[in-house]
Amino acid sequence: MKKVMFVCKRNSCRSQMAEGFAKTLGKGKIEVTSSGLEASRVHPTAIQVMQEIDIDIKDQTSDPLSNFDASNYDAVISLCGCGVNLPQEWVLRDIFEDWELDDPDGQPLETFYRVRDEIKGKVEALIEKVEAY
């Protein structure tokens, strides 16, 4: 099974939502982890907007990218345009994408909904791409 790493600056909102979607939509197809350039917490509003569509991310953790080994992953997805800040070994995986999504932290609830829905579409396309690779 292919392994996917979602990475963001703080591993709080976007990467956590992506992990939740990928674990749900990609169940049995891909293995998924998320991390941040720095660790923080799983944002309460991210938990809320995912729970509203029956995806539970409250038990996910915010972990630093440095806890993981790039060679264990087939695909690396940056969600915040932070790809330029990633160590080279992460950028050189079989699949690397930089989605550059807006950071919903500190924004109105509508921003969380919009970003959540954008992530869902991108994760669906990613699962197909990774499976075909």
CA dist 16 and 33 (Å) reads 9
8 a catalytic residue: yes
80 a catalytic residue: yes
Sequential DSSP letters for 3-53: EEEEEESSSSSHHHHHHHHHHHHTTTTEEEEEEESS-----HHHHHHHHTT
The catalytically annotated residue of 80, 119, 126, 130 is 80
DSSP tag of 54: T
The catalytically annotated residue of 4, 8, 75, 126 is 8
Which of these, 76, 79, 62, 87, lies nearest to 130 by C-alpha position? 76
- Catalytic annotation, residues: 8, 80
